[in-house]
Amino acid sequence: MNDQIHLQLLLAMATLGVVLGVAAAQTNFCTLGALSDWLNFADLRRLRAWGLAMAVAILGVAALRQFGALDLATTFPPYRSSSFAWARHFLGGAMFGVGMVLASGCVSKTLLRLGAGNLKSLVVLPAIAAGAYLMTWTNLYASYFSPWLDGLRVDLAAMGFAGQGLDQLLSHDMPGNPWVSAATGSLIGATLIAWAMADREFRESRTTWLGAIIVGLVVVSSWWLSGGALGQQWREWAEFSDAPPLRMGVQSLTFVAPVGDAVRFLEGRLPWRAMSLGQAGIAGVLLGACAQALLTRQWRREWFRTKGDAVRHVAGGLLMGMGGALAMGCTIGQGITGISTLALGSFVTVGAIALGAALTMRLQYRLL
């Protein structure tokens, strides 16, 4: 088997990224915007969109698992690991939330803006990459974070649990029961849909909820792509490749680690054929956002107003890169992809992101 299987998956993931880029840009799908609308204007519509995207992803993954089309035992990152690193998720999520506010948007929003011509993102994205690179490719984490964070991990296996998935925690006495997994995912997904669609204004905003559904379906499709039959062939090929792709494993969309990995390629330490699926997804998001901006004539160049504005954005990018690497995901990688696996760590990360962002927004308003 040659490299063709890898190229097929890269192109497929890039295509899904294009769909995500177009949908998110067209509907202004934005986690920071959702939190800001809620906290400052009591407007829950974009937060409901985020919840609806989560619901679609949860239900889609539950269906794939129920029909044997997806196995979450060996994912990248290891969402459902029995080693529950709650402190890492909380600290990383909080750092990401603070950085998200300082940089005026999360990683996915930075990519969307860059695709639409925003020159600020040309500064923020390298800062994110630098932060992620420091945490994943240097000894920064091992030297300064691991010694105390690892000691706070909870060994769920020692307690008799198979992992940290909510379905695994609930099926303690009947491990591996597929019906518990299906029921848990269905209940959470249905609850989120009911909450999202309970608001009349949200129901009438067809573009908003259609965009959320598309985002959720892209995450599910990415899981199926890497975890299905084609993904199985891809993983078998990688075992014998002399230059296997980075971040192998069953996976869906996530942005922080792939951005940090790009630094290794720029250093010339990795062959381009080792490009990961996450990096292909990022390329697709950029292309999709660019296409949407050009077709709707929303392409615009924007630069920093002051030096202080530039410093805040760079600091925010660094915090997002470092925090996202710590938490093993961002508002997409943990907020939708991770949540779709029902991993407890993903829920902790999302809560910490929201908390960090909310406190930072409140502090900013007080300082105005």
Integer CA distances (angstroms), 318 to 106, 273, 362, in order = 12, 27, 21
pLDDT at 175: 62
Summarize pLDDT for 263-281 with one digit per residue, the tens: 988 887 777 778 999 999 9
pLDDT at 143: 95
Whether omega for the bond prior to residue 271 falls within 30 degrees of 0, making it cis, is: no
pLDDT at 320: 98
pLDDT at 239: 87
pLDDT at 15: 98
**pLDDT beneath 70, residues of the chain:** 1-2, 173-176
Alpha helices in the chain (DSSP H): 4-27, 31-41, 45-66, 86-102, 107-115, 121-137, 140, 146-149, 166-170, 178-197, 200-204, 206-227, 229-239, 256-266, 277-295, 307-327, 339-340, 344-367
CA 120 to chain centre: 21
pLDDT at 174: 65
Summarize pLDDT for 107-121 with one digit per residue, the tens: 999 999 999 999 999
Alpha carbon distance 175, 327 (integer Å): 27
Q: What is the pTM of this model?
A: 0.95
